[in-house]
Amino acid sequence: MGIDLALIWFIIIVFSILMYVVMDGFDLGIGLLYPMMRKTADRDVMMNTVAPVWDGNETWLVMGGAALFGAFPLAYSVILDALAIPLMVMLIGLIFRGVAFEFRFKATPAHRPFWDKAFIAGSFVATFAQGVVLGAFLNGFPVDGRRWSGDVFDWFTPFSLFCGVGLLVAYALLGCSWLIIKTEGELLIAMRKLARPLLLALLVILAIVSGWTPLTHVAIAERWFTLPNLFFFLPVPILVLLVSWGLWRCAWDPNAHYAPFILTLVLVFLGFSGLGISIWPNLIPPAINFRDAAAPPQSLGFMLVGALFIIPLILVYTFWSYYVFRGKIKPEHGYH
């Protein structure tokens, strides 16, 4: 039996997307939490917690997009055609946020509020657009042969927009739990107070999405509630409740600094696994699986050689950067 190159590349893309959601999610979440912190000193600390690593986090977005283009060109063309507007909006939001990161530290006190607003707006727009993309992906894409045959506004549905709201809450919780690790004093207390309401909001959103999805997507309902898929899906809601209970308890534990963030990551992973169960093995829902969308084996094998070199390099760089900038951030610390 030969190596299943299509499956390997499917796993690489899923891994890249998960890494991006986890790692860029918390620094987008910090931008979402900015309006709740009015003091300039608090905002400085919040931004300094991610300033050394935020641009490296987005490496995984580039990795996932490039892998999709090379390994699954059919999926790349369909998804970019169908989701051109929300993807463009997402990129604009990421650009605004990236510019605000750098310019805010260089701006005069009179101009700094403008860059604060740009940072907030960029984080909000990018996160909401990513949630809309997620919802539209679950809704599926009409394909005629090997070409997308839908309307340019097919992504604009109540379900997709609600997924956008849901991702705002998820990223805000990621940012909140990250700040529990990195901050101290009044800012730490504020984040601990905020963690529980955000958790409750996220659980409500997950419950609504979990009910909405099978009711409006017959294929997903069949996949959830038929054997053996039911055995894979059933542990997910149980684990969500257990992890949420642990997060609820440790949010106010003065000795728990890393646990809230780790448990939030587990919640994100469980949501991601639920998505995977819902669409597997389709890369273009509802009908085209990843093998049908794959590039020729020669192309997959050629690219895999490069991926086996670059992915460990990115992982080592990521680990080292987080290790170097570990620990609590104090007001007198500065990245720039």
Q: Domain residues of the chain, as ranges?
A: 5-188+285-325
pLDDT of residue 2: 65
Residue 103 has pLDDT above 90, yes or no: no
Residue 78 has pLDDT above 70, yes or no: yes
Mean pLDDT taken over the chain: 86
**Pick from 29-38, 69-78, 103-112, 156-165: least confident:** 103-112
- 64 compared with 275, residue with greater pLDDT: 64
Handedness of CA 10, 89, 95, 26 (dihedral sign): negative
3-class DSSP state of 228:
coil
pLDDT confidence bin for 332, thresholds 50/70/90:
low
3-class DSSP state of 143:
strand
Give the tens place of pLDDT for each residue, 205-258. 988 988 888 877 777 777 777 777 677 778 888 888 999 999 999 888 888 888
Structure tokens at 17: 């997307």
pLDDT of residue 242: 93
Q: pTM of the full predicted structure?
A: 0.91
- The phi, psi pair for 177, rounded to 5°, reads -70, -30
pLDDT of residue 209: 87
